[in-house]
Structures are given as structure tokens and as C-alpha cells.
Structure 1
């Protein structure tokens, strides 16, 4: 049995990281031996089908969710600063809500940084994938006669997927300004795996492991083309984009190195090769592209939910017939960032708003121009994000004039007008602002920017259950490292928990 592995054993390994007993309870009929390259392709292919069609494909384990599940996307939106929550709560979320059964408890958890069940779900979601991929990577190494092409296409896919999940875990649970507080990482399986209790890696070691996977995958994809109709993340553009993301995030972390921004520039440029003509340049084209309706737009679009899942935070799509919450007010400092010609104004703002800026009923959209159903898309590897990383890398490398030219080039895609005479802190401020303009309601991006740039204090004075909550979240606050699930800490005494978190009881 040394070189055989079963589905039930794979799931036992997932339990190592999730602490979830349900992964131990599969009946024997679900056992399947993995001894051939076909077995590996079949198991990996089942995961990849879920990756591109999470709503309609049932995974081998867990629920069909995208890379950033919608509950997580709305959590990160609630933990951020683009919506005027103090006005939205009494006037929209509680006053006109036809979608949420227990609105006060739901919004208390969202707006008081109390969604610990969602945090636990994210931890399990990504560590399950890491355990699954560890198993297949190890098993592939025991199979004889694997061709060089199969080796690259399978290992390259698995390395990229594993690196993606590890990177998201580091972003979500790593304490950004503490060099020792990375994440637990274990990359192998085998007879001795159960009972292993990995400690938290340092930031430097966490990045080293992630980058090793991605650089091996890039080497493979440069010599062996993807298998058409099979590979997903094993894609030269996507691997370069993910490398740029990792170096960009690392570049302001305790693990930063002098070469980080040079690597950001190199990999962003590779991700942007021949892409300018594919970037949407109208409000309608943005909606279509992010809804998966533009086959030429070089991204992975994962739609995993419908109206009710996102409307609790962003307002109902059927506001015109009275379904709420409706008329969600946006933060004044966010609304003030836009010029009148910017195409994103049509995407984000309801022109009927009498005071301030009101969120459009069509955003975030399902891809139809009318926004008839809001949906929780995760759009992976947007070229717009590669542009944002490139601009910042140019700035950080001292090429401020080049950064301003590229920023204005990007703003031309949005008909937003040019900046002139910007340099130094003022230029960096507009680079960060452009990210905020571009990525409104986009999964975890604004929350991660608040964490990485550490440039803003969030104050929230809000009332629930006849009690006033006055919360201040300064830069580098503990709330920028999600709580590690209690069950994980109880089962692994080598894990140092993220401090500060306590479940609020109402």
C-alpha cells in the first residue's frame, strides 16, 4: 500500500488543516486507488472544472465556491470603507430590507468585524485545496513512465493552484507588520502525515515557498504549452500575473527585498503582453467583461451566487419595484475621487441620488447591462490589476515620470482625464486612489489595500440591539489579520493565534 492513496486518505489530509471531522466520514464505497497518470488527471480535472464553473459543477469535497466565495467578498466589503455604513444601516439595511431574514444580527456581524464563521470557512476552503494538491503532487512522483509533457502540464497546474491558495492564506491570516507571523505550511503527504502540527512560518519562509512553486510553474509553461481544454491556471499570462501579485504584496512586508519591485515590473509587463486592445473602455463593456460575457477578455470569471447573496451589502437589483435594501450611500471621500467623464461613474453611481452618491442598482452586475441580477463574480487575473502593479513598481523604482505616463494611459481607458505635474507623495496617493476607483466591490482588493498601505483609520459609530458601538480601526490593527479558527488552535498547539479577536455576543 506504500504507493497507493485513496480518496478517503486525501480527505483525511484535508482534516489535518481544517480540524473538521466531517472529512473523516466517507463510506468505503468512495475509495478509489490513484496509481496511474489517468487517475491523477481525473482527480485534478474534477477540481479544475469547479474552478471555472463553480455554480454548476459539484466538487469532490466541500461546496462549489469560487476562489473568493461571495460570503468572503461581502465580508471584506463590510470591513472596508467605500460605503457610508453609518447612514446605510438605519436608512437602508434595516429600514428597507426584503432579502435578509435576521437583518440586525446579520449586519451586526458584518459591520462590527464579527464574521468569524466566514473567516473559518476561508481557512478551511484554501487549506483543503492545499492538502488535496499536496497529495496529488506526491502521488504523481510515484508513477513511472510519465511523459515530460504530462509532468509539466500537471505539476505546473498543481504548483500554481497551491501557490494561489497559500498566497491568499498569507494575505488573509498573516500579520503584515510582524515578520514571524506568517502561516502554517506543510507541503507533503505520506504515512507519517497525520498528527503533524506545523507551526507558523515566517513571512520570508512563506513567500519563499509560494515563489518556488510559481517559478517552477513558469519554467514549465515556458517549455511546455498548456493542454487545451484542460489546464486553467497553468497559463503563462496568469502565472506571471500571480508572480507580480506576490512580489507586489511582499514588497511592503517584513520579507521585502530590494529586487521585489523589479520583479513586479517584469511580471506585470509579461501579464500585459498584447492586452491593451482587450481592456473594456465603456461602462457597458466593463459589465460584460466582468460578467464573463466577453470571450476575448483574458481572465477567469467565476460566478457563484445570485442576487440575494450580494444584495445584503450592495443593495437589491430590483430596487425599482421596491425590493431592498436600496439607495445604499457611498462614502463621500470615495465618491469625490471621480471626474465627471469617468466611465466608472455610470457603473457605480445612481444619478437619481439626491444627496451624496448612491450605489447603482446594477453594480456589482451579473454581466447584463440592466443589472437584472446581482451576482458574486470573482474575476481572476484582471489585466487592470497588472496595470496598477506596474504603475506602482515604476514609481517605487524611481521612474516617477514613467509611472505618471502609465497612470494616464490607464486613465484613458476610463475616459477619466490626465494628471499633470504629479510627483512624490501626491503621485503615490493617486496611484492608490486609482486602485480604489478601479476595484470598487471587487472581492478582497480594497481590504487588502487598507492592510498593505496602512494609510487610513476607519471610525465606525453604529448602533445594534440598543447598544452603541464606537469602533476605531487604525493602520496595522489586529482586524487586518483574520482570526484563525478556534478548532485549529485547539488541535494544533504550535499555532500562535492572531491576537485581539473575541466573538461579540449581542
Structure 2
């Protein structure tokens, strides 16, 4: 079946995203005349178009809203899968290219990109928008494209780098080298930095500002081992004073948390985050996903993150430990939810800067950064004069600060080159090729230019 992309629904309604889709590669030709002449004539309708990007993100369970957290966590050493047969594929790192989860992740990402690129094309072509509004919206769209491409390339490796609306070209587009995708991510974020305002365009940090682009840029530079620029960007976020001092562990994931750099609103006042709903609901039945003993036993004595951010439940005589960062189950609570979906937060910037500084030999200031994170967790200051020891400590802080959050552990193991050593010691079914998820077989059948990742 062809994917149906209805431009007017996306761009004018805003909160109504792309209709049900099966294949990204079969997007119908965009109605460019309608796009340019109607949706981007006025500030209000153009803003609605960009807001639709965020609605699409939070509505996409298997790519943006919970899927990356769950399935990357299972692929690493965070979660075990109690019942889900497809989850067991990820746990054993024996994912089939026909997996519905893999297909949903891929099509969800490219559905996001189709919507984002539609907005970028329309915004760039418009000459009737208020210049400041046009710049802000372009910055938001390019930031969103970078965010989507970041997870695509780090989950799948070489992926199609789609920036246009030519449906014929998109139907046969080949994969770009992952290095080129990372370059495109950085280029989009540099553009976003120059276009986004210093302040948030609306309350609640639910639309990105310049510092959100700066935070993601710091991460992007870290992933390509550009440590000098990673330090510069992370320092800009930290020194702004906008997101600190770090709140208590209990307040970190609340809607009004000072630490939040960017977050997504729920689609309804009667439902909070998808992760909160999934993890809290399954905790009462013992099903779904629960923490491995390996993760639970890795915490230092006295680490308050273990008690504040991990819940315990007993079902059928078995005790399960589950993520308890989000505590608002949503649908069964009053209409006013207490949590949004956090996409970026300040503590990552401290750990990015700590790692960047350590890699450059600045151990003293790297220790200062890591100890900001440890202090909030109730741990004593860490001290060492050895670079390797410090980098190991930073990796451990990342593991315990960002467990069950955006596949952080899975991506860290891969980018630091430790995934084979760590997971081969814990999983008898591990193989090196499992570090990349497979390209969906259904996409390869349709687009003959796609090449399956090794090992599948």
C-alpha cells in the first residue's frame, strides 16, 4: 500500500499528522502549489504546520515516544523481556528484518522526515511570513530533522539522507554513509542555532530554542569525537544558567523541572507520557519489560537514583524492578497531568563536557563536571589522576543517570567501541553485527537501492 501524505492535513491543521502509512518510499507527489500558496502565507498557519511535527513525534510510539527507550534498552543490558516475542528478539540480539517493531521504527522516522521536509520546503519558498517567525520555524524544523536523523543513523548505520520532496527520487534513494549523515545533522543544528531565538517561543519549553539546538549539537560533536567543539557547546548551555542548578531527583521529571531543555506535550490532558503509562501499568502485572540484575547490581552503595528512579512490584510471587522516572500513569489520573516527555536535559551536558574535557587531558575540570552529577545522586566526589579511570567513571555515570532513557546506554556502548566486549560477556547470543538494527525487509523489497546491514 502506498503511504498517503496529505499536505493540507499536515500543514494547516497542525496537530493532525500524516495518515496511516506502510512504505516511506511510496510517498505521493506533494501538492507544491497548495503548500506554498496556502499553508505558508500567514504566520499562524505556518506555525501550525511546524507544531504538527511535535504532535507526530509524540504520537509515534515505536520511534520517538517510548520505542527507542524500550527496544534499545533490551538490546543492551538494561531490560529483560518478560512476555513479548518481538522483545525477545532484541534481548537475544537476534532481530529479524521482518520485525514489526523494526518496520515501525523505520517508517515512523521517515514519516517524521517527510513532514519536516515539507515544512522546510514551504518555509523556504514563502516570502509573506514575518522574517522573525520564518527564521524561528525554519530553525525548529531543522532541529527536528537533526533529532530524527540522529537516532536513525545511530540505530541503523548507513541510512537514506532525505532532504527533499521529490517522491520519484525518494522511492529509489540509496543509503548515505553514516559519516555524511552525521555531517548533515551538525549542519542542520548550526543552521538551527543561527535561526532560533534565545528565548522559548511559547511557555513550557515544548518548542526548541537556540540552547536546545546547542545541547543537541554538543551531543552530535561528541559522537564524531570532536571533543573541543563538544566542550564549547555544552559549556554554552551550562553557563547560560537557564537550566540549573540541578533539581532534586524527585523533581527532575516533573513538567516544570528547571533541568528540562526540551520536552513534548502529551496529546491529551488525560494521558501523560507513553513511557510512564507502559512501565507503570505493566508493573502491576509483572509483564512487559523489567530491569536486569546486571543493571541493578551496578549501582554504588548510597546512589539515590536507584531508589528514586526504580520501582518495585510483585506479581504472582515474583518481584520486578521497573523504570520509575515518570510517575504519572496518565489515563487514570485527574485531567491535569504532572509530566511531559523530556527529550533533552541539563545533566547530559555536564557528562558530555566531562567526557570531552577528559579526552583532551583536562582531568581537573572533567572531575568537577562529573561530581555535579554525583552530588545530586548522594554520592561522594570522585577523584583520580588517570584518564582511563576517569573515562570509565563517566561511562558509569551515564549508565546510572540515563538508564531507561532514549537508549542512552545502547548508543554509548556503540559509540565508545565497547559494545562487543561488554555484551559478549553477558549474552551468549551476542554477535558483533547486532550493533546495528536490520533494515526492514519490506523496505528493501520496494527500494532496490537499499543494502541490508551485515549479519542479517
TM superposition score category, shorter chain reference: 0.7 to 0.9
Corresponding residue number in structure 2 for 1:347: 308
Q: Deviations over 1:138-197 (max 9, x none)?
A: 2233333433212211211111111111121111111xxxxxxx321131225x745652
Contact 1:293 1:367 in 2 (8 A): no
**Residue 293 and residue 22 in structure 1: after superposition, are their counterparts in 2 closer, same or farther (change >3 A)?**
farther
Residue aligning to 1:458:
423
Q: In 2 relative to 1, CA 338–376 (structure 1 residues): closer, same or farther, beyond 3 Å?
A: farther
Please list every run of 5 or more consecutive structure 2 residues that lacks an aligned counterpart in the other structure: 12-17, 266-271
Equivalent position of 2:268 in the other structure: none
For 1:9 and 1:195, locate their aligned partners in 2 and report how far apart those are by CA, in whole Å: 21
Instruction: State how far apart, in whole Å, the 2-side matches of 1:298 and 1:245 are.
Output: 13
1:269-323 Cα distance to aligned partner (Å, 9 max, x none): 1122215634223x4223xxx24253674431554426663368xx50x3xxxx3
Could you tell me which residue of structure 2 aligns to residue 185 of structure 1? Answer: 161
**CA shift digits 1:83-128 (9 cap, x unpaired):** 4x4xxx7xxx3xxxxxxxxx36355334233372212212111212
The offset of 1:458, in angstroms, is: 2.0
CA offset at residue 75 of structure 1? 1.0
**Are the equivalent residues in 2 in contact too, given 1:237–1:271 (CA < 8 A)?**
yes
Q: 1:265: which partner in 2? A: 231
Distance (whole Å) between structure 2 residues aligned to residue 327 and residue 46 of structure 1 = 36
- Decide whether the 8 Å contact of 2:63 with 2:104 is kept in 1: no
Matches within 5 A, 1:9-408: 19=23, 34-36=36-38, 37-38=40-41, 41-42=44-45, 45-48=48-51, 51=54, 63=59, 65=61, 68-83=64-79, 85=80, 93=82, 103=83, 105-113=85-93, 114=95, 116-174=99-157, 182-190=158-166, 193-194=168-169, 196-221=171-196, 227-228=201-202, 232-251=206-225, 260-272=226-238, 273-275=240-242, 277-281=244-248, 283-286=249-252, 290-294=253-257, 297-301=260-264, 303-305=272-274, 309-310=278-279, 316=283, 318=284, 323-325=285-287, 330-332=292-294, 334-340=296-302, 342-348=303-309, 360=321, 363-367=324-328, 378-408=341-371
Cα 1:412–1:42 shift into 2, 3 Å = same
Q: Which runs of 5+ in 1 are unaligned?
A: 56-62, 94-102, 175-181, 252-259, 463-469, 502-506
Q: Contact conserved, 2:78 with 2:292, CA < 8 A, in 1?
A: yes
Kindly indicate whether the alpha-carbon contact (under 8 Å) linking 2:146 and 2:189 is maintained by their aligned counterparts in 1.
yes
Q: 1:33 deviation in Å?
A: 5.0
Q: Distance in 1 between matches of 2:449 and 2:43?
A: 32
Kindly tell me the number of residue pairs found equivalent between the two proteins. 424
Contact 1:163 1:214 in 2 (8 A): yes
The structure number with the bigger radius of gyration is 1
1:438 to 379, 398, 401: 401
In the alignment, is the contact (CA less than 8 A) between 2:25 and 2:447 conserved in 1? no
User: Are the equivalent residues in 1 in contact too, given 2:36–2:125 (CA < 8 A)?
Assistant: no
Superposition deviation, residue 68 in structure 1: 2.2
Shift of 1:242: 0.8
Q: Pairwise CA RMSD of aligned residues? A: 4.1
